[in-house]
Amino acid sequence: QVRLVESGGGLVQPGGSLTLSCAASGTILSINVMGWYRQPPGKQRELVAVITSSGNPNYADSVKGRFTISIDNAKNTVYLQMSSLKFEDTSVYYCNANVRSGQRPYPYQYWGQGTQVTVSS
């Protein structure tokens, strides 16, 4: 089965930087879109950034100019470089992928378990 494993979360000071990684394992046939969502305490899950396999990104307005998403198709991995971090960026960040796999050879959505990002002084 397809599994998404996030890494790179942690504690960072305001204005600092952090990079998240998400690797998709399993028999990946092709990637349509991979990206990141977040769910701060008391709020609904929201899109942070997504990127197509061809490298076309889309960002939430709140992170434009600060976050950069990238994808390595060969490694089935998506990255989120976060800079100029704010307290409001504190959240659990979830990896999301829309891929075709050996088990489901049609576009299907998968979610990671999430990784905690805490911005605090």
Q: Is the dihedral of CA 95, 58, 78, 86 positive or negative?
A: negative
Q: What is the pLDDT of residue 38?
A: 98
Over residues 65-77, the pLDDT tens digits come to: 999 999 999 999 9
What mean pLDDT is predicted for residues 101-115? 96
Q: What is the pLDDT of residue 86?
A: 98
% residues pLDDT > 90 (the chain):
98
Q: What is the pLDDT of residue 111?
A: 98
Over residues 90-100, the pLDDT tens digits come to: 999 999 999 99
Strand order through the sheet with 18-25: 3-7, 18-25, 77-82, 67-72
Q: What is the pLDDT of residue 41?
A: 84
pLDDT band at 29 (very low <50, low <70, confident <90, very high): very high
- Calpha distance 67→17 (Å, rounded): 9
Centre a 10 Å sphere on the Cβ of residue 103 and count the other Cβ atoms it contains: 11
